[in-house]
Amino acid sequence: MAKSQKSQDEIVEFLIDFCSVFKIEKPTVCVGIVNIFRNETFAVLNHLGDTPAYICGFVGYCPWTPTNFTGIVQFPKPKPPHVTPVPPVPGAPVHRILHLSDIHVDTLYVEGMNDDCGEPICCRAANGPGINGSTAAGKWGDYQCDVNMLMFTNMLEYIANELPPLDYIFWTGDNPPHDVWMQTRETQLNASLRITNLLDKYFPQVPKFPCVGNHEGVPVDSFPLPGTPGSHWLYDGLSGYWEDWFGGNDTDAIETFRYGGYYSMQMTPGLRVISLNMNWCNNINAWLIENVTDPASMLQWTIDTLQQSEDIQEKVYIIGHIPPGIEDCIDIWSQQFYQVINRYEDTIVAAFYGHTHRDHFEVFYTQDGTNRATSVALITPSSTTYKNQNPSFRIITTDVESSYLVEISTYYTDLNEANANDYPTWKLEYNSTDTYTMTTLFPEDWDNALNNIQVNSTMFDVFYQFYYSSSPYPLEHPCDDTCQLSYTCYLQSGTDYLYQQCLKKKLTSYHNSNQLTFDNYLEYIQMKSINNDKVC
């Protein structure tokens, strides 16, 4: 055995023992997860160009700026004067877009099994039976586990049979269950194929626009840079499933998707969708150590595509998995993307994401001191119940002529009621215009909604309830005034840096009246807020 191989084996053995002895996970999970990440970890860390300081900076523990990186994005043309959008005419023809995200359907889910098994995901036969009324998984699902096939297919049946016909579908990724320690390339591709077939079954004639989520990779969050061994199995497999969705002969879309998992397609004359692979900003994707400023050249491609759309006065919807304003997205990339969003504010109508499993939004602003709202990112709640979430989906209504948003309607079913009544009842949870008192859905309207959430405690409580798709969690875990600071900063920050700055600014006022130090505050929000609510 080569010395390097022996050293790797010793490291792997140590990590498995450490994970097991300190009960980080069960031994079977420790063995599975360490071995799955083994090859990727050694391949990345053995790269000759990676110094300890570089790696320390990448993971966020050391001050660090990439070599020759200014942070200033160069655009092909100067930004034209902003044009105030004209509201759609009431009653004009509309398109209806279904937005699904974070499905995570678990085909191994078994009613009655233990939902508290001590593994990342439970409710399976291998976990043994639970205690009825306590830890036994329900027929229609469980708040501690991924959604089962029974519930998900019922959701699709309701959409297909009970709601008005769809014009388009946005599907923003994360298809496999959370059994990340036992996944293979085959299981991952099968998970996406399963949902692909279901969408074609229930909506055969509806154009569909998918994205790649962070759970599609093996291991989870692993997306090697183009040209790296193992970088194309996923895109080649998915493009085979989705070739008809790409129009069969849209060679540009197929080419960029097979290269880096992103693409652009015309939805209708005057309207385009840009589907981003947000794993190129995923801060857990270790392969990005090699390139954090523009992995897979997606950022430059996005600029070029938006410029082409601007030149012909074409509107654009952006879809992706990981929202740019959260800590999961590398901040160097997010700050560049923020500039792109602002530069093309009159071309981009809105952006649609998932990943967090929660219902929220992000407002982007000019960075020239005027603080005018320029764009909005709408994050849809998950179809999966993992964790503490009612199964949800969203219908986006848009004006046909202008492509502007007319309504955002979020639907859900109460999981406890479904299990108690032996059948789910799907409900309209809320319309955005009604709940947030908006006549239009332009960025400035979302900015006004954010301001209302900040100053009106009743409005915040409504937002907090919808954040979890009206599950029992908000009532069981109330969010007090200091907890609210974190949420409202989250809504107005398109980068993690802006989020941290917002917290510091708000803390100054709060500290003066409550004698709370910043360190204590950070510790507080880690326990009480979204920062401790990571399910993605």
Binding-site residue numbers for Zn(2+) are 102, 104, 174, 214, 321, 355, 357
Residue 390, Cβ density class (10 Å: 0-12 exposed, 13-18 middle, ≥19 buried): buried
- The tokens describing 527, both together, are 């326990």
Cβ-contact 105, 195 below 8 angstroms:
yes
Task: Tell me the one-letter amino acid at 290.
Answer: E
Binding-site annotation: residue ranges: 102, 104, 174, 214, 321, 355, 357
Quote the CA–CA distance of 388 and 390 in Å, as a whole number.
Answer: 7
Q: Is the peptide bond before 387 cis (omega within 30 degrees of 0)?
A: yes
Spell out the long-range contacts of 217-220 with Cβ–Cβ below 8 A and sequence spacing 24 or more.
217/188, 217/279, 218/36, 218/183, 218/184, 218/185, 218/188, 219/33, 219/36, 219/37, 219/40, 219/180, 219/183, 220/180, 220/183
Run of H or E including 275: strand 271-275
Quote the CA–CA distance of 425 and 420 in Å, as a whole number.
Answer: 11
Residues 6 or more apart in contact with residue 242 via CB below 8 angstroms: 196, 208, 210, 257
The CA–CA distances, whole Å, from 383 to 26, 238, 249, 418 equal 27, 21, 31, 15
Q: Where are the beta strands (DSSP E) in 46-93?
A: none
